[in-house]
């Protein structure tokens, strides 16, 4: 088979944070697949075709891309942030496992990107300086009971928690429920970061306490980061602050 498939992380939004490896893979692709808003971040090259689809069509998107690669095309599938963090990489391998056995012989490369949690952490200081975990609040692909069990365990174990997919029009209540669960397990003063559209022109970042945290501050462009009892807030003379979790945190 002469075709190839690259699964590419586009980073958090700023074009300067797209890796050279990802840019080169996009440059050589004949066809690029992705969720519409992510695909819109990829400049169209001469002779290149873009294939946009809805956010809930990951497996269909992966199958179509694999079929085109099998036919000999140089195909790319894009995800925001890192494709392996709640992104298209897992969907591609799931499609391969369930699909045409010949797909296992294809050249498939996963090209990493800067995940939103890393971009947010860099913006506010070093909140991920000690043990942390990442949880998606979406219950589209797993029961809500699984989400709450994992959140409770993470809070009780002392992990900093990065929450992906915190809210959407179809899922308006989960983040509020998550805060209620966490308030029963963490100090009221635990810092919470709401980072929306990080590294993009409309970026907005707010640091509040868990007691003050309001789910209405988040949408699907927001990453919510919840510290621990050891996470420190360093006030600066200009009124801003740094946030960090000591490496020696218990």
For residues 122 and 105, membership in a common domain is answered with no
pLDDT band at 54 (very low <50, low <70, confident <90, very high): confident
Strand partners, 162: 134, 225
Residue 1 has pLDDT above 70, yes or no: no
- Mean pLDDT (the chain, rounded): 95
- Range of 69's domain? 4-114
Tokens of 233: 């807030």
Residue 249 has pLDDT above 80, yes or no: no
pTM summary value? 0.92
Does residue 157 lie within any of the structural domains? Answer: yes
Q: What is the pLDDT of residue 171?
A: 85
Tokens of 37: 């808003």
Scan for tokens 């890393």, then name that residue: 118
Q: What is the pLDDT of residue 56?
A: 80
Does residue 43 lie within any of the structural domains? Answer: yes
List alpha helices for 30-115, DSSP H: 36-39, 58-70, 88-98
Q: How many domains does the chain have?
A: 2
Does residue 249 lie within any of the structural domains? Answer: no
**Contact predicate 230/245, CB 8 Å:** yes
What residues contact residue 248 under an 8 Å CB cut-off, 6+ apart? Answer: 130
Average pLDDT over residues 133-157: 95
**Contact predicate 214/170, CB 8 Å:** no
Average pLDDT over residues 201-223: 96
Q: What is the pLDDT of residues 155-175, one digit of tens each?
A: 999 999 999 999 888 888 999
For residues 164 and 63, membership in a common domain is answered with no
Q: What is the pLDDT of residue 250?
A: 66
Q: What is the pLDDT of residues 57-113, one digit of tens each?
A: 899 999 999 999 999 999 999 999 999 999 999 999 999 999 999 999 999 999 999
Q: What is the pLDDT of residue 94?
A: 97
Does residue 130 lie within any of the structural domains? Answer: yes
For residues 139 and 93, membership in a common domain is answered with no
For residues 72 and 155, membership in a common domain is answered with no
Average pLDDT over residues 6-24: 97
For residues 156 and 138, membership in a common domain is answered with yes
Q: Report the candidate in 154, 156, 111 with the shortest Cα–Cα distance to residue 133.
A: 154
Does residue 250 lie within any of the structural domains? Answer: no
Name the percent of the chain lying above pLDDT 90. Answer: 91
For residues 53 and 133, membership in a common domain is answered with no
* Residue 118: strand, helix, or coil: helix
Residue 227 has pLDDT above 90, yes or no: yes
């Amino acid at each position: 088979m002469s075709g190839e498939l690259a699964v590419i992380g586009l980073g958090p939004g700023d074009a300067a944070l797209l890796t050279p490896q990802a840019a080169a893979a996009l440059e050589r692709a004949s066809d690029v697949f992705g969720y519409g808003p992510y695909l819109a971040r990829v400049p169209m090259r001469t002779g290149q075709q873009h294939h946009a689809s809805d956010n809930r069509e990951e497996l269909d998107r992966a199958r179509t891309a694999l079929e085109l690669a099998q036919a000999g095309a140089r195909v790319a599938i894009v995800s925001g942030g890192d494709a392996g963090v709640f992104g298209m990489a897992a969907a591609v391998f799931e499609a391969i496992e369930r699909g045409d056995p010949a797909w296992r012989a294809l050249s498939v490369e996963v090209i990493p990107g800067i995940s939103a949690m890393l971009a947010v952490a860099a913006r506010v200081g070093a909140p991920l300086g000690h043990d942390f975990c990442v949880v998606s609040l979406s219950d589209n692909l797993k029961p809500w009971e699984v989400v709450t069990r994992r959140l409770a365990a993470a809070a009780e174990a002392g992990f900093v928690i990065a929450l992906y997919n915190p809210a959407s029009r179809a899922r308006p209540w989960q983040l509020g429920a998550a805060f209620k669960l966490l308030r029963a397990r963490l100090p009221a003063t635990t810092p919470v970061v709401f980072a929306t559209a990080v590294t993009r022109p409309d970026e907005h970042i707010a640091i509040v306490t868990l007691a003050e945290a309001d789910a209405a501050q988040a949408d699907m462009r927001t990453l919510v980061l919840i510290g621990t009892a050891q996470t420190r807030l360093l006030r600066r003379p200009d009124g801003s602050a740094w946030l960090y979790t000591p490496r020696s945190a218990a």
